[in-house]
Homo-oligomer: A and B are copies of this chain.
Amino acid sequence: MLHATVKRNTYQDSLRLMQVSTALGRVAGVNAVSAMMGTPANKEVLRAAGLGADELESAGPSDLVIAADVVDAAVGEALVAQADELLARQAPASRRPGLPSARSLERAVSIVGEPDLALVSIPGEYVASETRRLMDRGIHALIFSDNVSLEDEVALKLEARDRGLLVMGPDCGTARLAGLPIAFANEVHDGSIGLVGASGTGLQAVMVQIDRLGGGVSHAIGLGGRDLGAEVGGISCVQALRALDDDARTRTVVLISKPPAPGVRDDVIGVAETLSKPVVAHLVGDRPQREVDGNVHYARTLEEAARLAVALAGPRGARDVTLRPEQRWIKALYTGGSLAAEAAALLSAAIGEGEGERGDGYVMKSGGHEVIDLGDDRYTRGRVHPMIDPALRTGRIPAVLADPENAVLLLDVVLGHGSAADPAGPLASVIADGLARLHAEGRDIAVVASVCGTDRDPQSLSAQTVALERAGVAVLGDNAAATRHALAILRRRDAPPRPPATTSAPIRRLLSAPPRIINIGLREFAVALHERGAEVVHYDWAPVAGGDPRLQALLESLG
């Protein structure tokens, strides 16, 4: 039998209502139950679910409805009692005292000073009007809510763009701005990779892999799943791409999306191609012809997008290297023949020339680019292999570092049984010395390496990696990544002096420091942000005018 109860003027947010519904569903004798606000759309849902009791008719948008199919009236009564008890319980309290809260937007704004961002998770039908109120105060919006009409989305995003503001969402679940994870987001390290994504768990997955591969994230800007659809046309996506190109802490941009509308795909890729920074693109379902096209690198999976981005940006914490115009060449000194061959193949493919004079002791020589396998017979005749005695290589390094035309020294370090007891030690020493000498002259050179080994090897991967990093070496996770990073350094130097895209002053401010946030809707988001130390105020929102849409429209028109 159907059993319904209407609680007048009792607003609860949707997460809370879902939790209550789930708990009520476990009561014995309940076949189906749902607790919802009595909006016309929700009443339609309840009717479609076979829970459309007559009592619902009288419920309005600010009334809470509990509609159930139960075995008898006693169960129905028990259900209501249970619901009262659940609703009486407070939302989880913050463990950290003092989450500020306000009952009006004005009060909320005044508490947080000049808020940068509103995190909006109120029911979809209220989103447009509330977001406009926020934008009137110069506040960007991350709209978590779904059930916002496409028309509202397009209108809001166009208005935002006209004002130099950014609207992320609707249905945007994930972001990270200047180190602050917002809504659904993982704890990753800060770094120089900026992400733009019409894809919530896609952004999460790429951020997580970047972190595992030794990279770090500057920002992750969610767009909502429809931004790259034909109707919205990538309005926020284009704003976000330009903002990351303008952003000082972002070195590499990643663009991910569920399958975009074809025309929009071409538009956003077109914008990506105009950026001054390298872009890694992974658009699910897209099958680009080339792996690299200008500054745009195409990845086949989310993991590969992360891998390419880390190879381009380099490991987190790596020092900044400023090259002079005459520094043009990659010099690779290898101890492993197959690793040298892999580096030569990747460099040749990227530089667009053959592998050159192989027979002359080089695995590759093209212009001033050189890949030398010091384990080759030519170098080891009468000498110990450089995997055993690092001296054969360390002896050559000062000259490579000192040559004013060299841009990158690229190295392999092979650990394991048979190899030197401490291959990184002498390398680190000669590199630190050489770099100190260059720095004293106001010069610099990039040194990039990978370490082939495990932590159970006699030399220990992590110990060897730390020794190299302390000497100023950027250590990548594998040889292909190190080679790609060397190429990225060169490309950055070679790039035509294309100015970075510019963004609006408000968006630049948004990305300049962890944002101050007004949370409107699900209290949990404010609690999580507060516990992480963010400046956040919870605006304890409820629909105005008892949720009557016509009255709301009238109030809005009155200003």
With A256-B338, A338-B302: A45-B382 Cβ-Cβ less than 8 Å: yes
Say yes or no: B18 contacts A383, CB within 8 Å: yes
Which residues of B lie under 8 Å from residue A418 when comparing CB positions?
Answer: 173, 183-185, 524-525, 528
Say yes or no: B186 contacts A417, CB within 8 Å: yes
Rounded to whole Å, the gap between the CB of A497 and the closest CB of chain B is: 32
Copies of this chain assembled into the complex: 2
With A204-B414, A479-B302: A212-B454 Cβ-Cβ less than 8 Å: yes
Say yes or no: A258 contacts B341, CB within 8 Å: yes
Rounded to whole Å, the gap between the CB of A456 and the closest CB of chain B is: 4
Closest B-chain residue to A480, C-beta based?
Answer: B301
Rounded to whole Å, the gap between the CB of A124 and the closest CB of chain B is: 11
Say yes or no: B15 contacts A184, CB within 8 Å: no
Say yes or no: B184 contacts A419, CB within 8 Å: yes
- Name A199-221 residues within 8 Å CB distance of B: 199-205, 208-209, 211-212
Say yes or no: B341 contacts A301, CB within 8 Å: no
With A186-B454, A205-B478, A457-B187: A384-B22 Cβ-Cβ less than 8 Å: yes
- Name A468-512 residues within 8 Å CB distance of B: 477-481
Say yes or no: B452 contacts A201, CB within 8 Å: yes
Q: Is the interface of A mostly helix, strand, loop or mixed?
A: mixed
Decide if A453 is an interface residue (CB 8 Å cutoff). yes
Q: Mark A29-40, 1 if CB is under 8 A from B, else 0.
A: 000001010000
In the docked arrangement, what's the CA distance between A525 and B388, Å? 13
Say yes or no: B338 contacts A284, CB within 8 Å: yes
Which residues of B lie under 8 Å from residue A427 when comparing CB positions?
Answer: none
Closest B-chain residue to A483, C-beta based?
Answer: B301
- Name A147-205 residues within 8 Å CB distance of B: 173, 181, 183-188, 197, 199-205
Say yes or no: A479 contacts B416, CB within 8 Å: no
Say yes or no: B22 contacts A383, CB within 8 Å: yes
In the docked arrangement, what's the CA distance between A225 and B340, Å? 14
- Name A499-538 residues within 8 Å CB distance of B: 524-525, 528, 532
Partner of A338, one of B34, B185, B199: B199
- Name A443-463 residues within 8 Å CB distance of B: 452-454, 456-458
Say yes or no: B416 contacts A284, CB within 8 Å: no
Decide if A125 is an interface residue (CB 8 Å cutoff). no
Say yes or no: B453 contacts A416, CB within 8 Å: no
Which residues of B lie under 8 Å from residue A259 when comparing CB positions?
Answer: 341
Rounded to whole Å, the gap between the CB of A376 and the closest CB of chain B is: 10
Say yes or no: B382 contacts A34, CB within 8 Å: yes
In the docked arrangement, what's the CA distance between A457 and B374, Å? 44
In the docked arrangement, what's the CA distance between A419 and B204, Å? 12
Decide if A423 is an interface residue (CB 8 Å cutoff). no
Say yes or no: B387 contacts A184, CB within 8 Å: yes
With A173-B418, A186-B416, A479-B205: A337-B382 Cβ-Cβ less than 8 Å: no
In the docked arrangement, what's the CA distance between A481 and B205, Å? 13
Which residues of B lie under 8 Å from residue A22 when comparing CB positions?
Answer: 383-384, 389, 391
17 contacts between A and B (CB under 8 A): A15-B388, A18-B384, A187-B457, A187-B458, A188-B454, A199-B341, A201-B335, A204-B416, A205-B452, A205-B478, A212-B477, A258-B338, A284-B338, A303-B477, A303-B478, A303-B481, A418-B524
Identify 11 new A-B residue pairs, CB closer than 8 A, beyond the known A22-B391, A201-B339: A18-B382, A188-B454, A188-B456, A199-B337, A201-B337, A202-B342, A204-B336, A258-B337, A258-B341, A303-B481, A418-B524
The 5 A-B residue pairs whose C-beta atoms are closest, nearest first, are A201-B336, A202-B338, A184-B418, A186-B416, A301-B480
